[in-house]
Amino acid sequence: MNLEEIRNKLEKERNELLLVLKDYEESKEILKETVSSADEIADRYEYKEEIHLKKEILEERLQKIEKALKRIDEGKFGFCEKCGQKIEEMRLKIDPAVDLCQSCAVK
């Protein structure tokens, strides 16, 4: 995989995440509707918690992708942020947003 392919893959994932996050923002409007029964309140609370957790995970992934794109722009992509060694190619193929080599990730 060359840098252009990696950039394209990361940008595609970023755009998909932004769309999903936008949908989560729109779903907040549904949560503002009034409910009357205790069951509806409990269901709404569970749904709100689930949405919040999923949104946090997606936002963290988006940050990793933005960071990887920045490393590409700076010419630092593919090098471990901790030790400076080259990140294993297979690791980058699995997740191009990874920022640590295998040995630093294990530590």
Mean pLDDT by 10 residues, the chain (107 residues): 92 96 76 69 79 92 98 95 95 95 93
Per-residue model confidence (pLDDT) at position 103? 95
Residue 51: closest CA among 93, 85, 23 = 23
Per-residue model confidence (pLDDT) at position 38? 77
Per-residue model confidence (pLDDT) at position 48? 80
Distance between CA atoms of 96 and 105, rounded to whole angstroms? 15
Which residues have a Cβ under 8 Å from the Cβ of 6 and sit 6 or more positions away? 72, 77, 92, 96
pTM exceeding 0.75: yes
Per-residue model confidence (pLDDT) at position 30? 63
pLDDT single digits (tens) 8-31? 999 999 999 999 998 887 776 666
Per-residue model confidence (pLDDT) at position 107? 84
Per-residue model confidence (pLDDT) at position 94? 94
